[in-house]
Amino acid sequence: MSDKFDVTALVLAGGEAQRMGGVDKGLQLYAGRTLIEIMMALVKPVSQQQFISANRSLVVYQTLSNTVVTDVAPWQGIGPLGGLFAILDRLTTSHLLLLPCDTPRFSAEALKCLLQAAEQAPELIHFIETESGPQPLHAVLPVAALKQSLPIFLAQTEHFGVMSFYKQIGRQAVYWEHDEELVNINYLDQLAP
């Protein structure tokens, strides 16, 4: 295997946004841009390819990325791991950068810190941790281990927790002191910055 460190990005926008009344969260405006546009602009400079995980509004998402993936059977509706499974066959880089669409304050500096940690210990999954706790959807995953471990984990588990899956590969937290950057936009009244 090559020692090359390169990254594909996956931005998660496939949830149901129940706390927002079921609107498509990724398409909501924040500071004049949609949440998905903000996150795609963040990942583009650091990744060779950018995917969006979405399960509706596909035509709109395809205007932002020609690589939109939807959950596939039998892993539809299980949350973020469903999005990860849907992308497995398309991954050609050494690592996958995973981010949710709903943290528009997440900075390029935090992203750089996360990627540097992953490059230093590429065999582990790295995720952001703040004073509020772990942020498992802000992560960098080694692709070879992901492809090997995720199908087995999904077939054997009844609980589709992201952190439980990360234990299968090995994980390391990357502490980020700016907790405010990890605030999730879960309610419509949070859209005003």
Give the residue from 56, 47, 40, 180 showing the smallest Cα distance to 106.
180
pTM: 0.92
- 13 annotated as belonging to a binding site for a ligand: yes
Structural domains of the chain, ranges and CATH numbers in brackets: 7-184 (3.90.550.10)
Q: With bands split at pLDDT 50, 70 and 90, how would you rate the model's confidence at 188?
A: low
Range 182-188 average pLDDT? 73
- 14 annotated as belonging to a binding site for a ligand: yes
Q: ∠155-161-166 over CA atoms, to 5°?
A: 85
Give the residue from 42, 28, 11 showing the smallest Cα distance to 187.
28
Give the residue from 157, 176, 181, 27 showing the smallest Cα distance to 79.
157
Contact 25, 187 (CB under 8 A): no
How many residues are given for the chain? 193
Question: 3-class DSSP state for residue 170?
Answer: coil
- 25 annotated as belonging to a binding site for a ligand: yes
Q: What are 151-184's pLDDT values in tens digits?
A: 999 999 888 889 999 999 999 999 999 999 998 7
- 6 annotated as belonging to a binding site for a ligand: no
Number of H helices, E strands in the chain: 6, 9
